Structure formats: C-alpha cells, structure tokens
Structure 1
Amino acid sequence: MAKGYKQMLAEADALVVSVTAEEMAGKLEDDSIVLVDIRDPRELEREGMIPGARHAPRGMLEFWIDPESPYHKPWFAEDKIYVFYCASGWRSLLATRVAQEMGLDAQNLRGGFSGWKKDGHPTAVKEKRRT
C-alpha cells in the first residue's frame, strides 16, 4: 500500500531539525541563515512573508537547488543553513527533507508562517506581480 501524507510527515519529522518561531525570530539578522518561503506566490501576496526571506516555489525547489539544473539558483549553493517554511509547516517539512537529501543544511520552521504571525513576529508585504 502507498504511504499516506501522515506517514510521510512523520518520517520527515523524525529526520529533520525543526525550529520554533521564537528561536527563528532571534536569528533574523544572522547572515548564516537563509529563510526560504516555499508557498505559492499568491499566498505571499495575500498573507505577506517573513522579512528578509527568499522565495522558492515548492514546485521548483529541486530544480533551483540542483547545480546541474538549468533552473539552479546560485543562492542555494552558498554555505548556509536554509530554514524552509510554508503556511502550516507541512509542505516545508517535506521540502526540508528533500533539501537535506540534496545536500543542503536544512531546517523546518515548525508551525510555518501561520505560527509565526500568531506569535506576533514581524511580517513583510510581498508586492503583487504585474501582469
């Protein structure tokens, strides 16, 4: 039988380091950490994002990380800690596992952007794309 999402999340949670919003809030100015928002662009435009975070849509993540890909983003090749987040922390938990498998020093923001906002941490406005 195929794995369900709950099993996949449990397996990923056992393998990745997750940090809390409180822990991450104290490290926003740390140049050794790159926050990576993997949500859909419409989510960022609607909800905002963590100040200073980079955006890497979940559907492109593997291609952006892999230096052999024509879509590779050089900022993923830096010797940094990458902290991934989504809305609730589920997508980013799975993304963090993939990023680790691809060789990144990756962590997950437990509770995601929703938890970040709920705890009263700062947010930034994402400008809407022009069509």
Structure 2
Amino acid sequence: MTLTTKSAKDLVAEANREVDTLSAEEALARLGQPDTMLVDVREGEELAKAGRIAGAVHVPRGFLEFQADPESPTHKAELGDGRRLVLYCGSGNRSALAAKTLKDMGLRSVAHVAGGFSALEKAGASVERV
C-alpha cells in the first residue's frame, strides 16, 4: 500500500484555499473593532524577541486546539465569544494552518493575515514589547 504524502507547502496551500486571507492593511482596518479579535499564534520566544501587535491575544500554535475548545481546561474565552478571529504568525504559513484548524473545529468567522507579523509591522501596526 502506497501512502500519499503531503508536504508542509501542500498543507499551507490547501489551508489558503479554504480560509479567508486578509492583507495586512485589511487586518489593521479591522483591528479595534468590537467584532474582531487579532490572534498571535507565534511561539513565546518570538514574542519576547519582536513583540506583538498591540491588542492581540497570544495563543501559541501548539496550544490552539486546546485553547479554542470550550471543553478544555485551558480554554480561552476570547476564542469562542463570536468575534471574527484574525490570526497571524511570523510570515503567514502557520496562521493559515491554524485558521484552517479552527474552521475544522467549527469556528466559521476565521481569517489569517498574508505575510504575518512582518507585513503587519510594515503596514504600520503598533507593536508592544512583552
């Protein structure tokens, strides 16, 4: 029996076909609106090094499923309160995968930012050091 293998590139491309992708400018226009939550899915070391977009909630990619699941003891209420979740990572790949995962979990109002933190910073996002 031959196993079909997908590369990380294949998985990211598939995720990008299935989830909404916002430009950094589109994401920044939504920032601060009461119906939108910006979610940083980078690792803690990345936040410590570069900071995060002001107002974003941090949910490391490795904990996303658990913090999005209302039945989990580590659930973050911000992820299930009905707001549109706009995810970003360093460059846009992990956030695409994370957005697809949330969509697969039943959250429908999910998007991610093309180009990630770098694009948001270049577009003039306010960065807070943590």
The answer to whether TM tops 0.5 is: yes
Whole-Å Cα distance in 2 between the matches of residues 75 and 22 of structure 1? 23
Which residue number in structure 2 is paired with residue 87 of structure 1?
A: 90
Which residue number in structure 1 is paired with residue 122 of structure 2?
A: 118
TM-score by length of 2: 0.92
The aligned amino acid for 2:37 is: V
Whole-Å Cα distance in 1 between the matches of residues 49 and 43 of structure 2? 10
Q: How many residues are paired up?
A: 126
Whole-Å Cα distance in 1 between the matches of residues 64 and 18 of structure 2? 19
The aligned amino acid for 2:52 is: M
Aligned residues with identical type, % of pairs: 41
Q: 1:6 to 1:68 in 2, by over 3 A?
A: same
Give how far 1:120 is off.
Answer: 3.0
Aligned partner of 1:108 among 104, 107, 112: 112
1:27 aligns with 2:30: yes
Which residue number in structure 2 is paired with residue 129 of structure 1?
A: none
Query: Superposition pairs for residues 1-131 of structure 1, below 5 Å?
Result: 1-104=4-107, 105-126=109-130
TM-score by length of 1: 0.91
4+ aligned runs moved over 3 Å, structure 1: none
Whole-Å Cα distance in 2 between the matches of residues 15 and 70 of structure 1? 29
- Where structure 2 has 5 or more consecutive residues not aligned to the other structure, the ranges are none
1:26-66 alpha-carbon deviations (Å, 9 max, x no partner): 22220100000011111011101111000001110000111
